[in-house]
């Protein structure tokens, strides 16, 4: 049996007592005569675009089939953001995380984390962007000069915003950025007139704003998409390569299923994350949900690294970024999948 944890603050030590008492998370065969038991700690995020493959693989039994006959225990833990997942990596409380953004990945590497990017999971572009009030005189990106913009600074949407601004000749110093991390806070600030424009991190927030007359969508991030990735603890990956490959095969099966059953996937994702089917549809329509590393993903991570360095958001120069990226396993899974 697989059980998902949804604590807002992750602490493996705190939950281990409950695990022992309740005998939770028993996954696969319990025979002791084949291999030593392995506990795999996998993180995901309560945002159905970034980690879409996880609920599908779970609900469709793909994890059970991938690890049938194995003496493996699987713990799934929900994280509220990438920095929280990095803390768990640093504490040795996490082996794999599915759906972490490129900014916390680079920050983690800069802080000395031994992690390896093994695949992207999604790229949001058409489904997110810049919103303003319905009665705002702002009708395009070129109108944002000298305006106050709410954005979660240091994140993928910050980077995407600067990209679309640069396309029309607007520099970061030509606008006033207000750091807003919570979506509801951003919508409230837009409603009060504290900001002229807002950058939601999910499309569902755009719909919520639209219902309040605040959702005029003046630009998307199609040309500057926000990526999320699968990252593994490097030592764990090297010691358990076959296990990680089986995990990747299970979520690739989920990916193929999503590709063929988009509408049904919205129902499963909505139910899993506690939102409506329509909410899941809003979040995922226009997003590119995919697996597999190409040169494009290498370039995306390099671009993000340069962005964070140039903005002073990381203070350690990373000279070996490519050594932290390895698409061999997922690309082999895709190439040899039957």
Map 146-181 to HEC letters.
CCEEEECCCCHHHHHHHHHHHHCCCCHHHCEEEECC
How far apart CA 68 and CA 52 sit, in angstroms, is 23
Tokens at 216, concatenated: 């005029």
The pLDDT assigned to 113 comes to 93
239 with 118, same domain: the answer is yes
pTM (two decimals): 0.80
Instruction: Give the count of beta carbons closer than 10 Å to the beta carbon of residue 307.
Output: 20
148 with 235, same domain: the answer is no
Map 286-320 to HEC letters.
CCEECCCCCHHHHHHHHHHHHHHHHCCCCCCCCCC
- Among residues 220, 237, 270, which one ends one of the domains? 220
119 with 137, same domain: the answer is no
116 with 9, same domain: the answer is yes
How far apart CA 163 and CA 271 sit, in angstroms, is 35
250 with 160, same domain: the answer is no
Per-position pLDDT tens, the chain of length 338:
455 554 433 343 333 323 332 333 333 433 334 445 778 899 988 766 778 899 999 999 999 898 887 788 888 888 877 888 899 999 998 999 998 888 889 999 999 999 999 999 988 888 788 988 888 899 999 999 999 999 887 677 888 888 899 889 998 889 989 898 777 888 888 888 999 999 887 777 787 788 888 888 888 888 888 888 999 999 999 999 999 999 999 999 999 999 999 999 999 998 888 888 888 888 887 788 899 999 999 998 998 898 888 878 788 889 899 999 999 999 999 998 87
**DSSP alpha helix (H) spans, the chain:** 12-22, 53-59, 62-66, 82-90, 102-110, 156-167, 183-192, 203-210, 234-239, 241-260, 262-273, 277-284, 295-310, 328-336
120 with 235, same domain: the answer is yes
- Among residues 169, 195, 220, which one ends one of the domains? 220
109 with 239, same domain: the answer is yes
The pLDDT assigned to 137 comes to 92
- Radius of gyration, alpha carbons of the chain: 20
- Among residues 164, 198, 220, which one ends one of the domains? 220
Distances (CA, A) of 163 to 20, 219, 260, 303: 49, 12, 33, 11
How far apart CA 216 and CA 237 sit, in angstroms, is 45
99 with 231, same domain: the answer is yes
At a CB cut-off of 8 Å and minimum separation 6, what does 138 contact? 132, 144, 147, 196, 197, 218
DSSP state for residue 131 in the 8-state scheme:
E
Instruction: Please count the structural domains in the chain.
Output: 2
210 with 89, same domain: the answer is no
> Rounded to the nearest 10 degrees, how much is the dihedral formed by the CA atoms of 129, 135, 140, 144?
-90
115 with 147, same domain: the answer is no
171 with 293, same domain: the answer is no
The pLDDT assigned to 115 comes to 95
At a CB cut-off of 8 Å and minimum separation 6, what does 259 contact? none
The pLDDT assigned to 204 comes to 74
How far apart CA 327 and CA 331 sit, in angstroms, is 6
Write down the residue that tokens 């070996």 correspond to.
320
Closest CA to 62 of 335, 254, 290, 266: 254
Tokens at 125, concatenated: 């572009």
CATH code at position 195:
3.40.190.10
Q: Which domain holds residue 232?
A: 3-125+226-336
120 with 237, same domain: the answer is yes
The pLDDT assigned to 2 comes to 52
């Amino acid at each position: 049996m697989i059980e998902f944890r949804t604590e807002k603050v992750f602490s493996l030590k705190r939950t281990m007592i409950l695990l022992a008492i309740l005998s939770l998370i028993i996954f696969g065969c319990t025979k002791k005569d084949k291999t030593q038991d392995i506990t795999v700690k996998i993180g995901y995020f309560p945002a159905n675009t970034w980690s879409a493959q996880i609920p599908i693989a779970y609900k469709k039994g793909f994890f059970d089939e991938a690890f049938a006959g194995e003496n493996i225990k699987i713990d799934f833990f929900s994280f509220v953001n990438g920095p929280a997942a990095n803390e768990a990596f640093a504490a040795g409380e996490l082996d794999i995380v599915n759906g972490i953004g490129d900014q916390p990945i680079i920050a983690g590497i800069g802080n000395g984390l031994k992690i390896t990017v093994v695949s992207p999971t999604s790229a949001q572009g058409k489904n997110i962007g810049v919103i303003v009030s319905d009665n705002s005189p702002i009708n395009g990106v070129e109108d944002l000069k000298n305006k106050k913009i709410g954005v979660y600074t240091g994140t993928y949407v910050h980077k995407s915003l600067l990209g679309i601004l640069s396309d029309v000749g607007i520099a970061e110093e030509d606008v006033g950025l207000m750091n807003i991390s919570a979506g509801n806070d951003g919508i409230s600030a837009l409603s009060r007139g504290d900001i002229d424009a807002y950058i939601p991190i999910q499309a569902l927030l755009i719909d919520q704003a639209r219902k309040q007359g605040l959702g005029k969508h003046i630009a998307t991030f199609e040309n500057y998409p926000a990526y999320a990735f699968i990252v593994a603890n490097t030592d764990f990956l090297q010691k358990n390569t076959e296990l990680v490959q089986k995990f990747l095969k299970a979520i690739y099966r989920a990916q193929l299923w999503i590709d063929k059953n988009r509408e049904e996937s919205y129902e499963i994702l909505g139910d899993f994350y506690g939102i409506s089917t329509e909410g899941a549809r809003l979040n995922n329509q226009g997003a590119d949900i995919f697996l597999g590393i190409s040169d494009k993903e290498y370039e995306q991570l390099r671009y993000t690294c340069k962005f964070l360095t140039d903005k002073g958001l990381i203070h350690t120069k990373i000279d070996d970024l490519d050594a932290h990226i390895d698409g061999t396993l997922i690309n082999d899974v895709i190439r040899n999948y039957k």
